[in-house]
Structure 1
Amino acid sequence: MMLRRVLLVLLLIGAVLLAFAWQRFRAFADTPLPGIGADATLVVARGDNLDKVLGKLQAQGIATGNRLAWQLLARQTRAAGRLQVGEYALASAATPRALLIAMRDGKVVRRKFTIVEGWSIRDLRAALRKVPLLAQKTAGMDDAALMAALGHPGQHPEGRFLPETYAWVRGDADLDVLERAYAAMDKALAAAWAARAPDLPLATPDEALTLASIVEKETGVADERPQIAGVFVRRLQAGMRLQTDPTVIYGMGSRYAGNLRRADLTTDTPYNTYTRAGLPPTPIAMPGKAALRAATRPAPGDALYFVAVGDGSGRHVFSASLADHNAAVKDYVQRYRAQRQAVREGAAPK
């Protein structure tokens, strides 16, 4: 009888101790880690085990507590031996359980890089060089070497990367981002070409890409893109020169200093559409999906000319005849001069 009472007492004590240990374990697992700084991250490298990860946390001033508790929690969450390589965000409320599950599932920090519509390949490469933590594999490459590294030797890089926002993770390189952007443009161009309007004066998807790049540079007003494309398509059909300033500027390269002079319009380059008929030899910028759609499905109409309104809206006046166009240009020049006069006099233009 006495023995049974002793055993019962021991069992009760054991149960209390187990309950206490379980509560302590749960409190450890679900209590935010102390010492996490603002914007802190944890980088798990190839070959890192749990002990190595805990050492990295401690090196950041984060108190990790009992290693045995971490090992037990890793087994409970099935994270033991399954920590995935990558960079993990350490939010101020991060708990051991949440962190282990994140490392088990590979929920790494995903950063973003945006290619802006109308960027040139020079703009794109300059922007990539400024991205912190993105490995730079293309820094010593010229454009030809870059395209060869992407698996497209001999292809001009201009216009080949779709303006969108791309996710990347620590360990990625600029070449990885460019590969995704190239594939995205390839897909978008194929879709636009497949849905093209009949009787376009464009022989290949590459010609559509070139026209789209011109449309992209001519207007930032979304609903004008099909109209701008329509003007250029009708000019091509009529055998007229495109006479578009952005191609001239592109052909000038570093010689362009912000002002386009009459002499620039008459100086021949492969990209001067005032001196040469047809499309330029390559795209002049990175066109977005809307510009691709506009180039392959231009708006119908009879306009052959356009000029900026000049009121700051970015919009244009479209004309079917040269006489109407000249009148619109005259209005633009008068408005431009009035605005400059107002600025000189310190008054707002009317």
Structure 2
Amino acid sequence: MKLLLKLLSFLLITSVITVGFLLWYQYDVFLKTPAPITESNAIIEVKPGSNIRQVADQLQKNGVIEHSLLFFAHARISGLADKLKAGEYKLEAGMLPDDILKRLVSGQTLQYSLSLIEGKTFKDLQALIRKHPTLQQTLTDADYAVVMEKLGAPVGTHPEGWFLPDTYHFPRKTTDLEFLQRSYQDMQRYLQQAWDKREPNPYLKTPYDALILASIVEKETGLPEERPLVARVFLNRLAKGMLLQTDPTVIYGIGDKYDGNIRKTDLQTDTPYNTYTRAGLTPTPIAIPSKAAIDAVMHPATSNVLYFVATTPGGASKFSETLDEHNRAVQQYLLNRKSASEPKP
């Protein structure tokens, strides 16, 4: 009887050792085998509140791993089972199970992007947000009408110009309001920093004045080297009590009726944004100004220039101190434009 018990004990111990060895071997092979990741299963979403067993089952269902139990066990052994972070993750071919686990606890979620371009209007920005396939749409037309209040701005704040142009990266399920909040805060921060370092000018009494003028500078030239001189032209005009007389403000005032051509009647038709009929700055910005345009307004060139006109269609500008000099430059521009439009022999 004793001999039988010893034999059974030996067999039991041997079986346990054998099973343990086989499990360890299988676990070791599992950890060393690259996951079969393809384009179809490379994206994995860890939903808020998911536990490691649910994620392991999802990975096996998607064909990323073969054994959810081994992945679950590895997460427990490594102490990472309770450190999953919600979000979308992109997996790469050749990743080992441990690489996958570390990715899912890293918080390095898959990022999407949207670029805000300087010179665009808030209406353009709204359209970009609404057609973005990843941003979660929560704002209605009525919400957009009071969006600045939703962002914490004073009641009645106009949205134009208040969003910093940049390429923004964000995870899936970011809301439209969250996106706008980030861009708005970035603009507030940059504008204030630039204002604090500005060259004081009596005709720019507030950061908002600078934002307005920066938007006009932005629309008047796309050449970085010209922005400080364009800013100086407008500041000099304000100092002399001259009208700004800038076409982009007139176009903004025309709104949706603008057909691509600006006519003499447009320049004579009064709107709050017509700087041919109204003195001073426009009531709000007319577009999204770039950092460079803001900097140009805060640190304009030193010059007595009062006029400028493009030397060629879409080309660099000719800056002038006197009206006679400016008129000659305009005539030259008209000749250049005529020459450019003539058919080549």
TM norm. shorter chain > 0.5: yes
Q: Closer, same or farther in 2 for the Cα pair 1:36/1:214, shift >3 Å?
A: same
Q: Secondary structure of the residue that 2:280 maps to in structure 1?
A: coil
Residues 230-269 of structure 1: pairs in structure 2 closer than 5 A: 230-269=232-271
Gaps of 5+ in 2: 1-8
1:112 counterpart residue number = 113
Q: Is 1:123 the counterpart of 2:124 in the alignment?
A: yes
1:317 counterpart residue number = 318
The alpha carbon displacement at 1:63 in A equals: 4.6
Equivalent residue in structure 2 for 1:179, among 181, 184, 199:
181
RMSD between superposed Cα atoms in Å: 2.6
1:73 counterpart residue number = 74
**Following the alignment from structure 2 to structure 1, what is the Cα–Cα distance between the partners of residues 116 and 28?**
46
The more displaced of 189-198 and 246-255 is: 189-198
Residues 154-233 of structure 1: pairs in structure 2 closer than 5 A: 154-233=156-235
The alpha carbon displacement at 1:199 in A equals: 3.3
Q: What is the letter of the counterpart of residue 260 of structure 2?
A: G
Contact 1:38 1:92 in 2 (8 A): no
Give the structure-2-normalised TM-score: 0.90
Contact 1:113 1:166 in 2 (8 A): yes
Contact 1:308 1:315 in 2 (8 A): yes
The more displaced of 19-28 and 67-76 is: 19-28
The alpha carbon displacement at 1:9 in A equals: 12
Deviations 1:169-219 (A, max 9, x none): 112111111101111110111011111113341111110000000011111
Deviations 1:96-123 (A, max 9, x none): 2112112222221122221111111001
Deviations 1:71-109 (A, max 9, x none): 211113322122211111122233321121122222211
The alpha carbon displacement at 1:236 in A equals: 0.4
Matched residues, percent identical?
43
1:140 counterpart residue number = 141
1:93 counterpart residue number = 94
Q: Closer, same or farther in 2 for the Cα pair 1:311/1:89, shift >3 Å?
A: same
Gaps of 5+ in 1: 1-6
Contact 2:38 2:93 in 1 (8 A): yes
Q: Secondary structure of the residue that 1:88 maps to in structure 2?
A: strand
The alpha carbon displacement at 1:16 in A equals: 8.3
2:150 counterpart residue number = 149
Contact 1:39 1:89 in 2 (8 A): no
The more displaced of 14-23 and 103-112 is: 14-23
Contact 1:87 1:170 in 2 (8 A): yes
Q: What is the letter of the counterpart of residue 73 of structure 1?
A: H
**Following the alignment from structure 1 to structure 2, what is the Cα–Cα distance between the partners of residues 12 and 309?**
93
Q: Secondary structure of the residue that 2:45 maps to in structure 1?
A: strand
Q: Closer, same or farther in 2 for the Cα pair 1:63/1:202, shift >3 Å?
A: closer
Q: Closer, same or farther in 2 for the Cα pair 1:59/1:248, shift >3 Å?
A: farther
**Following the alignment from structure 2 to structure 1, what is the Cα–Cα distance between the partners of residues 123 and 143?**
11
**Following the alignment from structure 1 to structure 2, what is the Cα–Cα distance between the partners of residues 56 and 9?**
38
Q: What is the letter of the counterpart of residue 265 of structure 1?
A: L
Q: Secondary structure of the residue that 2:53 maps to in structure 1?
A: helix
Contact 2:37 2:94 in 1 (8 A): no
The alpha carbon displacement at 1:48 in A equals: 1.6
Q: Closer, same or farther in 2 for the Cα pair 1:21/1:39, shift >3 Å?
A: closer
Give the structure-1-normalised TM-score: 0.89
**Following the alignment from structure 1 to structure 2, what is the Cα–Cα distance between the partners of residues 20 and 310?**
80
Contact 1:160 1:186 in 2 (8 A): yes
Q: Secondary structure of the residue that 1:141 maps to in structure 2?
A: helix
Contact 2:47 2:86 in 1 (8 A): yes
Contact 1:79 1:103 in 2 (8 A): no
Moved segments of 4+, more than 6 Å: 7-17
The alpha carbon displacement at 1:139 in A equals: 3.6
